[in-house]
Amino acid sequence: MGCTCSIVPNEVLRRLAQDTTLSHNARQALMRTALIDQEIRKLREQARELTITTQSVAPTLAALAATPTVTVYNCNHTHTLPGSPVPNPGHAADPVAQGAFTEATAVAQFYQQVFNRNSIDNAGMTILSSIHYGVKYNNAGWNGTEMLYGDGDGEIFVDFTGGNDVIGHELTHGVTQYTLQLAYVDEPGGLNESVSDVFGSMFRQWQANQDVNAADWLIGSNIIGPAARAKGFTCLRDMTNPAATHCLAPQPTHFSQYHPGMDPHFSSGIPNLAFYTFAKALGDPRFPNRQPAYANSWQTAGQIWYYAMTNGGASPRMSMHQFANRTHAAALHLYPNVPAIDNALRSAWTAVGV
């Protein structure tokens, strides 16, 4: 349970902190972040356990609000949460406050318009963001109740509110907390991270109105700083090629490479590649009886993933094979008259050994 659930894996932070070619200040910031993230991870696990308990004894009967309120707080480089409230954050002088508000609002709209979901918990939960967390804090994450954003050290990472896929990824951890309730270890941990990458990428594509062929499928490309880019790193992860050397966190591409105890940020490459392969197959002009909606990841492939997340109940210990089976059931339920869709899905899972 030692893995953190922020966008940057703890292993990457520690590895870079030992890189003597980086500046002393950058290495210190990386190590400080790694130490803090270990404790934040405990908060999120407590929140997940609380969510499991409360949903079992008191299921939601009514929505808190028709649409979620989005709030932003400023930690002013302290670790005090949530910080001071930012009045009217959508028009704040601070561009970081504006960015956090605008993107969190857009994620809520994405879930509402595309999946008919009312906020993180589907009951109008307020979306709270704390910006300027810590000094040169090199991460962003969902801590079980709210979003935290660091400013980065300016060398390896830059302002984490600048990555819309990062924000979509982390808020999706909240959605998973209220749906599948996946544990953050072994195969369910890999699925947890993968679901966040999938929906974070879909959110980025939806905002840009990009089809599967126009999208770059990179995760975290907008938060990579100049020192990391000078070393050839362009992103955290690449869903088209999880093992690529331009990724700060390269991943396995086949289930045969998986082993128990693997950091979820790495094992997530397996289902990530399955989703990408499936979405690309649907977007291929040669796909049988292809419809325009197939080319947009959120309109067909994404609907199957969301249905698999939200139907069948929570499954904290779900394996990748079990999730794949849920996606097959979802495809057959949503598109019963288009067998080519499930055939493409089956091929995508088979290609990654699941």
Residues marked active site are found at 170, 265
Rg (CA), the chain: 19
- H or E element at residue 278: helix 269-283
- Using a 10 angstrom Cβ sphere, with 0-12 exposed, 13-18 middle and 19 or more buried, the burial of residue 216 is middle
The owner of tokens 């210990």 is 317
Q: In this structure, are residues 339 and 269 in contact, taking their beta carbons and an 8 Å threshold? A: no
Q: What share of the chain is helix, strand, coil (3-state, %, to 5)?
A: 50, 5, 40
User: Which of 132, 174, 135 is CA-nearest to residue 149?
Assistant: 132
Virtual torsion, Cα 228, 232, 238, 242, nearest 10 deg: -110
Q: How far apart are CA 352 and CA 338, in angstroms?
A: 23
Provide the β-strand partners of residue 129.
72, 147
Neighbours of 65 (CB within 10 A): 12
Provide the β-strand partners of residue 130.
73, 148
Neighbours of 87 (CB within 10 A): 9
Structure-block tokens of residue 245:
């050397």
